[in-house]
Amino acid sequence: MSLSLARTLNLGRVARTPAVWGKRYIAQETVGKLSAKEVVEQTWASAHAKNPAFAVERELPLPRSRKREVGIFLAVAVVTWGFGSVIAFNYQRMTSTPVTAALFTARHNEDVCRELGRQLNFTSAFPWISGDISHLKGFVDAEFDVVGDKGIVGHLVLKSRRTGKQNGEWHTIEFYVSMPDGRKLDCNV
């Protein structure tokens, strides 16, 4: 056997110490007598035999069901998307032209300013605007709470309809601020 072939197969190390191939031992004196081809064949045979060094003979575990994890993920995703959609639609109503115009008009109404105070605004940074606003269909039904610098909370109601098609005229049906005692302060211009 040539020296380069022995180095390639790492037989120099095997010749000095007993080598373990699976459960078979190749003794020092045997390695010297075997050709490189025979050592490779013995190694190949040992590796493909039922050998605990290469394979574990046991039953495979059943795969874990991930239905619970997927169900929890879907539930959290649906709740998150639903909550986000509600917040987005409410923000869209809050920043719409009819709501900001109604708040502006109520701010400059003398009766409202006398009862609630001059600094009229939403009751919180993110108020709940109930009702529907549809420029395309031609109706506005918006209600929300307002508070002035006197600290009294009022409820602003705006109901308006458009007559005609897209460029029709808007008519205000109801526009008032209801007070806590039940009085209605008319805000129509």
DSSP string covering 3-55, please?
Answer: HHHHHHTTHHHHHHS-EEETTEEE-HHHHHHS-HHHHHHHHHHHHHSS-TTT-
Confidence of residue 160 (pLDDT cuts 50, 70, 90): very high
How confident is the model over 52-102, as pLDDT tens digits? Answer: 555 666 788 888 889 999 999 999 999 999 999 999 999 999 999 999 999
pLDDT of 60 = 80
Which pTM value belongs to this model?
A: 0.61
Give the CB-side neighbour count of residue 113, counting CA atoms within 13 A: 9
Secondary structure of residue 156 in the 3-state scheme: strand
Q: Which residues pair with 178 in a beta bridge?
A: 155, 184
Q: Is the pLDDT of residue 14 over 70?
A: no
Q: Report the residue count for the chain.
A: 189
Residue with tokens 């395309």: 136
> Which stretch of DSSP H or E encloses residue 155?
strand 153-163
Helices (H), 95-188: 97-107, 110-116
* Span of 2-11, 33-42, 48-57, 71-80 with lowest mean pLDDT: 2-11
Residue type, 129: I
141 pairs with which residues across the strands?
A: 132, 159
